[in-house]
Structure 1
Amino acid sequence: MSLRGEVCVVTGACGFLGERLVRLLLEEEKTAEIRLLDKRIQLQVLQSLEDCRGDTKLTPFEGDIQDADFLRKACRGASMVFHIAAIIDVTDSVEYSEIYGVNVKGTQLLLEACIQENVSTFIYTSTVEVMGPNPRGDPLIKGNEDTVYSSSLKFNYSKTKKDAEERTLQAHGEVLQSGGRLATCALRPMYIYGEGSHFLLGHMDDGIRNRDVLLRMSVKEALVNPVYVGNVAFAHLQAARSLIDPQKRNTVGGKFYFISDDTPPVSYSDFNHAVMSPLGFSIQEKLPVPLRFFYIFCFFLETLCMILRPFIRITPPLNRQLLTMLNTTFTFSYQKAKNDLGYVPRYSWEEARKCTTEWLASQLPMEREKIMSK
């Protein structure tokens, strides 16, 4: 199925994944209009899309996702929503009320706007972290949508994304004002990498400060399977095509899908090294201290911050749950997305690594200058 003639709303359109999806829609689909919804619309993003815009109308919508009237205006006359916008926080540095307001309340208001404005298709960008890992660090290898995994989510980010995902899937089949029905699905990508990743830049900056030696925060045995941003964007496109296909709508609607690709399973730290080693970075062979002492250190750090919280809010850069996430084997298959959505990774590991490394190389001089000037 083609999205020709569709009017699409993309939330978080100026972000890492959102911009990539908008570009893909412009390059591959003859959509009538794409509405770029973000808290702040970046002029450079709009300018960068001009080279592939064609006849598609690009309409910026700058506003708050917690503003119901703003969302209704953005959805009026649209036929499809890609909901990517979210607060990502793995250090619990954001107040719960703020992250809940954006991740949960914002999603609920957007679903209600779709029903009121007769938007029939809704694709939600979830995350693998709604699955875990659990605080015990139980490993999971090649999990799928039927895998049972005992998890007690600790991060507010994970909890709010799980809540928003459930609301999205429960909204499938809701009656629109026009009498039609809403079709929804959710995608759970692994850790997303590629051009524009602030996380990769942060790890590179740490390596620069450490004399071009990347910090090791995960043991080599803790395998995960990161996914390239271009493949995640393509999975969104395939989900949209499936939801507007009358033959697939009932199969896909109301379901979630794990999105990975053929990036080799590797630890988070060793993945950083895989994309940065061509730039001259090496990596610490072992954790700075044994893992058990890392946990003890984090426990005391968290306790100290809790004691100080009535007087001053300090967020430790590392906590026990983040340490668990970085050191737990947690891999998933994309087979169900392949079967139901027709998703097959658009980019190979070799292509994804090359593009990512070249982008990091383009950023390296600026990052060095920024760090050296401090």
Structure 2
Amino acid sequence: MPGWSCLVTGAGGFLGQRIVQLLVQEKDLEEIRVLDKVFRPETREKFFNIGTNIKVTVFEGDILDAQYLRRACQGISVVIHTAAIIDVTGVIPRQTILDVNLKGTQNLLEACVQASVPAFIFCSSVDVAGPNSYKEIIMNGSEEEGHESTWSDPYPYSKRMAEKAVLAANGSILKNGGRLHTCALRPMYIYGERSPFLANIIISSLKNKGILGVIGKFSIVNPVYVGNVAWAHILAARALRDPKKSPNIQGKFYYISDDTPHQSYDDLNYTLSKEWGFHLDSSWSLPLPLLYWLAFLLETVSFLLSPVYRYRPLFNRHLVTISNSKFTFSYKKAQRDLGYEPLVSWEEAKQKTSEWIRTLVKQHRETLDTKSQ
């Protein structure tokens, strides 16, 4: 394969940075363009000191700016699109989520057509498949089973519609007469060092004497380590560029999990942090059906108050459902079509994440010591 170039959107994020770290090891890669709305100074510096001969170009701007995207896509061989707003609690306005996750993806697809980019990989989410009810049980589900979320909440809806747009764009005629080839990856819940979700849980727990907040004690899920999700994106990029493999994956989506044991969200948090003195909350909690209907009541109050006051419930039915369902998926199809095998074992992923949690605990204690002086 001749020299190629890759654009990674959301490159300053939790997953985006990992993808860039793996991309620099790719053969014949001449340029990586990293794109995000804003890069932290330390992230920007990390990209500039990445220790490779590959050219790294930083693009900082809005995914809703069509001209900016076209400029970023010019001369690119592969786009890996991870930029998204992830919000399942209702903090961020619905329109903002729809604009970034759906309109931003549509803008990027159009930029690829105009700039004649032949390959597009979309980081989707298991949320586009459901679960639609906490009573629904899916264990080791597959792509062929056709699971689809029916939630109208902005995050699952925007990701579902964006994925449909990406897969429908497969085969689009490019400005230079070539064709655009697309695929989508649906990772499970992603954990690992520098996870913003996990960091929030740990910091909140440190303020609560090391008691881990209840997230989803009734769930059975198969979380996936961030390094393995990043690796799947690299393999998808290789496959879309390979004339032999590409026809098999064009216009298709793949579930991405790994060998992390099936467990509840609460058990995962405890397993990763128990070495540093964290423990599960043993206090009584509401039964799941009651929790669900309480969420419905809070949503109703929020809706009734909306003309005069923006009330955001602490939780909603979508959050209760995704946090407490038995919902796992196999990576066999990705294994068959992409050659995907987890790069990092469960034991190694657990160790790396636990070590990172130790640094959070240390930072927290140092902050407390400084304040007490």
TM-score where L is the length of structure 2: 0.94
CA contact (8 A) 2:206 2:361 kept: no
CA contact (8 A) 2:134 2:324 kept: no
Paired letter, 2:60: E
2:348 aligns with 351
2:197 aligns with 199
For 1:43-58, what aligned pairs fall within 5 Å after superposition? 43-58=41-56
1:112 aligns with 110
Q: What do residues 140-193 of structure 1 show as CA deviations (whole Å, max 9, x unaligned)? A: 100010114364224210011010101101111111111111110000000001
1:227 aligns with 224
The count of residues paired between Structure 1 and Structure 2 equals 371
1:9 aligns with 7
Distance across 2 between alignment mates of 1:317 and 1:369: 31
Q: What do residues 176-212 of structure 1 show as CA deviations (whole Å, max 9, x unaligned)? A: 1111111100000000011110100111122222211
Distance across 1 between alignment mates of 2:276 and 2:25: 31
2:361 aligns with 364
CA contact (8 A) 2:112 2:118 kept: yes
Post-superposition offset of 1:63: 0.6
Post-superposition offset of 1:368: 5.0
Distance across 2 between alignment mates of 1:281 and 1:30: 46
TM-score where L is the length of structure 1: 0.94
Paired letter, 2:276: L
Post-superposition offset of 1:369: 5.9
Distance across 2 between alignment mates of 1:184 and 1:66: 20
1:332 pairs with 308, 329, 347, which one?
A: 329
Paired letter, 2:110: E
CA contact (8 A) 1:205 1:371 kept: no
Using the TM superposition, name which of 252-261 and 320-329 deviates more: 320-329
CA contact (8 A) 1:68 1:109 kept: yes
For 1:269-308, what aligned pairs fall within 5 Å after superposition? 269-285=266-282, 288-308=285-305
Using the TM superposition, name which of 282-291 and 103-112 deviates more: 282-291
2:169 aligns with 171
Q: What do residues 1-29 of structure 1 show as CA deviations (whole Å, max 9, x unaligned)? A: x6x62111100000000011001111344
Q: What do residues 93-141 of structure 1 show as CA deviations (whole Å, max 9, x unaligned)? A: 2222211111111111101111111111100000000000003541110
Residue 342 (structure 1) aligned with residue 330 (structure 2): no
Post-superposition offset of 1:62: 0.7
1:155 aligns with 153
2:82 aligns with 84
Judged with a 3 Å threshold, the aligned counterparts in structure 2 of structure 1 residues 190 and 287 are, in CA distance, closer, same or farther, namely farther
Paired letter, 1:119: V
- Superposed CA RMSD in Å reads 1.9
Paired letter, 2:221: V
Q: What do residues 220-247 of structure 1 show as CA deviations (whole Å, max 9, x unaligned)? A: 5x21000000000000000000001001
Judged with a 3 Å threshold, the aligned counterparts in structure 2 of structure 1 residues 120 and 268 are, in CA distance, closer, same or farther, namely same
CA contact (8 A) 1:137 1:325 kept: no
1:252 aligns with 249
2:261 pairs with 259, 264, 276, which one?
A: 264
CA contact (8 A) 2:131 2:322 kept: yes
Q: What do residues 289-340 of structure 1 show as CA deviations (whole Å, max 9, x unaligned)? A: 3223323432333233223322221322211221111110000000000000
Residue 180 (structure 1) aligned with residue 214 (structure 2): no
Judged with a 3 Å threshold, the aligned counterparts in structure 2 of structure 1 residues 334 and 82 are, in CA distance, closer, same or farther, namely same
CA contact (8 A) 1:13 1:19 kept: yes
CA contact (8 A) 2:134 2:326 kept: no
Percentage of identical aligned residues:
46
Q: What do residues 61-111 of structure 1 show as CA deviations (whole Å, max 9, x unaligned)? A: 111101100000000111110000011110122222211111111111101
Using the TM superposition, name which of 263-272 and 317-326 deviates more: 317-326
SS in 2 for 1:240: helix
Residue 20 (structure 1) aligned with residue 18 (structure 2): yes
CA contact (8 A) 1:81 1:123 kept: yes
Distance across 1 between alignment mates of 2:72 and 2:248: 28
SS in 1 for 2:144: coil
SS in 2 for 1:188: strand
